[in-house]
Amino acid sequence: MATECRTELFDFAAVERRAVVAGFDGGAVTTDAGGLLLAAADRKLGLIKRFADCFIDRRRPDLIEHRVATLIGQRVFGIALGYEDLNDHDQLRHDPLMHVLAGKLSARREDCAPVAGKSTLNRLELSRPAVTRYHKVAHDPAAIERLFVTLFLEAHKVPAKEIMLDLDATDDPLHGHQEGRFFHGYYDCYCYLPLYVFCGKQLLAAKLRAANIDASAGAVEEIARIPAFARTKHIRERWSDVRIIVRADSGFAREELMAWCEENAVDYILGLAKNARLNRAIGAELAAAREESRTTGQKARRFKELLWTTRKSWSRKRRVIAKAEWTRDEANPRFIVTSLAAADGDGRHLYEAVYCARGEMENRIKECQLDMFADRTSTATMMANQLRLWLASMAYVLLESVRRLSLAATELADATCGTIRRKLLKIGALVTISVRRIKFAMASGCPYQAVFAAAHRALVAADTS
């Protein structure tokens, strides 16, 4: 005799003598209705289509259900909505919002959902730079890297007069035996050491690297590549008067990077690790700061400029700015090296207003690593993990575009990607599909209805401008 199945109900404490029950039987309901804003931003950018164009598909069209663009969109939208695990998509493929984001409400085959499950998505992530007998989908790493820069350039309606490129490395802890796994003494763990390049809040590069290298390894290649890729033209060919400044911490104060910048008319402002020679050079300033601090009970600082070179590693003398600070009854000297001239500001201004502003980049890295799951590099090969990093990075670019294009005049103008997701994308809705329209009846109690409306107006205006 067949067993009659019914949806399990969950009992909770009664309210005013009425039973409270719950069950997963609501039908076409989504918890991510705000994701429609992601689709509106993508229409403006063309991000998903252009990202998919960086892939080569040699599968037989008559045997496949999901195009590469569908798979790419599913992963990028999914990460932006908070679903970093491929296993999540075995259920998400039935979510009506995912169908709408993919622009595909039905499948050609009866045994398929409109969007893909974990196995198909996993094959995408295992794609290689060249098609093989067993890997029919390949990706072009150089094309993906160019796309980040192209999207950055297109975000500026007026050519920029000056751009500040922030470089930084961070740790990506590993918990398995992935290719390129090394122990890093500073971070005290096995990890990768990805390199990020930002300009303000916009991401220009995300390069996965093994951890057995110097933090600055490959920095020259990345900086040299970024100005070179803008629809096959140099940034300076499109923005003829642009001034480029490279900013980074002391891990990047290397002769190779500084010499390249000087040879290519690129300015730099870099942290410089302190040593005994540098500390002796500001001995008088430290003594004065100490006396002031002991008199006032507050921290005190002095600034001094030096024309400095190392004994062996530097090829020339360079402008070094020293901060001689005394705080908490101890010396706290700091140094930066820069190609910026006196006309760009005195030492205090360059250190406090220009160099220290690089700390904001660390917040952008946190958004990529924590909010966009860029540290989910658990695949066996470094190549596949690099592709995962790019997928997460494109999700960041998409959400950053929503913030930039539609939230500037709202309370979420400076919100992190995680906050935007929680407050604006995670909206419950009942989905009804008829012959003439698809309606998302969003929760009436959503506290951010006004922000959603403002974002929608801005994106529609941007899409038609």
- The span from the CA of 453 to the CA of 134, in Å, is 47
Average pLDDT, stretch 45-74? 94
Q: Is the dihedral of CA 283, 357, 268, 390 positive or negative?
A: positive
What DSSP string describes 36-49? Answer: HHHHHHHHHHTHHH
What pLDDT is stored for residue 231 in this prediction? 41
Question: Which of 6-15's residues contact partners 24+ apart within 8 Å by CB, and which partners?
Answer: none
CA-nearest of 98, 97, 81 to 431 is 97
What DSSP string describes 49-92? Answer: HHHHTTEEE-S-GGG-SS-HHHHHHHHHHHHHTT---GGGHHHH
Q: Is the pLDDT of residue 233 over 70?
A: no
What pLDDT is stored for residue 394 in this prediction? 98
Q: Is the pLDDT of residue 234 over 60?
A: no
Q: Please report, rounded to a whole number, the percentage of residues in the chain having pLDDT higher than 90.
A: 81
Token couple for 219:
């920095």
Q: Is the pLDDT of residue 464 over 90?
A: no
pTM strictly above 0.85: yes
Domains defined for the chain, CATH in brackets: 29-131+412-425+434-464 (no CATH), 142-371 (3.90.350.10)
Terminal Cα distance for the chain, rounded: 64
Write the single-letter amino acid at 456.
Answer: H
- The span from the CA of 128 to the CA of 404, in Å, is 33
Q: Is the pLDDT of residue 417 over 50?
A: yes
Report pLDDT digits (tens) over 135-180: 899 999 999 999 999 999 999 888 888 999 999 999 999 999 999 9
Report pLDDT digits (tens) over 62-91: 888 899 999 999 999 999 999 999 999 999
What pLDDT is stored for residue 228 in this prediction? 61
Average pLDDT, stretch 34-45? 95
What pLDDT is stored for residue 3 in this prediction? 44
CA-nearest of 423, 401, 427 to 412 is 423
- The span from the CA of 338 to the CA of 268, in Å, is 5
What pLDDT is stored for residue 236 in this prediction? 58
- Of 78-87, 94-103, 156-165, 445-454, the range with the lowest mean pLDDT is 156-165
What pLDDT is stored for residue 63 in this prediction? 87
Q: Is the dihedral of CA 296, 298, 299, 300 positive or negative?
A: negative
